[in-house]
Chain A
């Protein structure tokens, strides 16, 4: 077994436990690490060794990931011993600003429910025309400006940033500040010092903003929560700042990476791009969004959990206190669930993917992400039909060191 793994690129330790994460293969930037797929072929769960020497379980298959993510014997509480943090820097961040993504019910449910209504399907659908206007304006500006242009800075980041700023009531004029600090937050190789600074800067910023909203409430989510929850003593101003930070960070980094990496994937699959460009069928566009979510699986650092009790699954026993990592990029390529899983096919029904996770922590912002991506994929390639890379593919810098996968820049022309 260890030889086999060593062959496929994962440095196996003498005890046969492979190191995790594993590198993607050169030249295959959209595919999961080959070693990860070999592990998937071997067993639904295996032990791996991580940065701090600990050996959590890695869950490789779709069925077991879904079962475990929906299992109440599994905890997302980042303060529990055994929780498998991504890196020292990431642990620093998660403990310093513990939002509901790192808590269990009933605490998690109480806080998540306070912010659920604005992300309901109908509420988000009502934002579609405004999102369309934002997308059209950014494309107008891009077409009127010089080329080549970096699609990340000119388009992929501004779309979700403008939307989430509007929703939360964060001044977009501050985007340099929060995007710069977010870049630190989502890089897994930061020194803990740099992480601490970025986290503190963002929290400080949001706390000041919350104080301002409490003094002068407007028609945005931070004001609403300030008035309805903080003033009534249901939530502290600090808790609101932490929730605001989660929404601000999760609300723009993820979607931005889906836009830029998705565009690159489509440029590399011209038949798929052509199918998307030729249609104005909202069903096909919505299906393409699901397929790109599945195919790209950008949140590639694994859903991380710790077992509260012994759990028997996939012929193994996860013991109470064991760390558990669910790697969505392999589950989303599981051939038991998706036919010909390595093919990008915008016509397939990809809705069973776990790109938004599963269980009670499944992405709160998914309706918003979906509408943003539907508007973007349905507009950009039609309005800029000659869109193409302005550099060789080899020169595109991928976020191998990112908590969230994507590209740092995407120089394009048309």
Chain B
């Protein structure tokens, strides 16, 4: 699985951090998403898909391999 985020689109809702804290964080500076792991391990794939579906700004793209 490959993950990417669009920091331009992000509105800092925090939904991704709540869903998959090891994969997403928010910058201290402006609260905008920071991607911690662009190819997360299998045990968090469900959480990452969840984050992408909850993201209100459609800023998270998940590509399944």
Which chain A residues have a beta carbon within 8 Å of chain B's beta carbons?
Answer: 69-70, 109, 112-113, 116-124, 351-352, 356-364, 366-367
Contact = CB atoms under 8 A, between A and B. Distances in A.
Contacts of A121: 14, 17-18, 26
Interface of B: 11-14, 17-19, 25-32, 50, 53-54, 56-58
A362 B13 contact: yes
A116 B58 contact: no
A409 to B, nearest CB: 33
Contacts of A122: 17, 25-26, 28
Most A-side CB within 10 Å, residue of B28, B56, B58: B56
A120 B31 contact: yes
Given A70-B56, A357-B56, A360-B56, A119 B14 contact: yes
B32 A113 contact: yes
A351 B54 contact: yes
A351 B50 contact: yes
A360 B14 contact: no
Contact of A360 (B11, B26, B32, B54): B11
A359 B56 contact: yes
Given A121-B17, A360-B11, A362-B13, A116 B31 contact: yes
A362 B18 contact: no
24 contacts: A69-B56, A112-B11, A113-B12, A113-B30, A116-B12, A116-B30, A117-B12, A117-B26, A117-B29, A117-B30, A117-B31, A118-B31, A120-B27, A121-B14, A122-B26, A122-B28, A124-B14, A351-B50, A356-B13, A361-B11, A362-B57, A363-B13, A364-B12, A364-B13
Cβ-closest 10 pairs across A and B: A116-B31, A362-B56, A116-B12, A120-B26, A117-B31, A120-B31, A121-B14, A121-B17, A367-B14, A358-B56
Contacts of A356: 13, 56
Name the residue among A119, A121, A359 with the largest chain B CB count within 10 angstroms: A121
Given A113-B30, A113-B32, A351-B50, A119 B12 contact: yes
Contacts of B13: 356, 362-364, 366
Contacts of A70: 56-58
Contacts of B32: 113, 116
Contacts of B18: 121, 367
A120 B54 contact: no
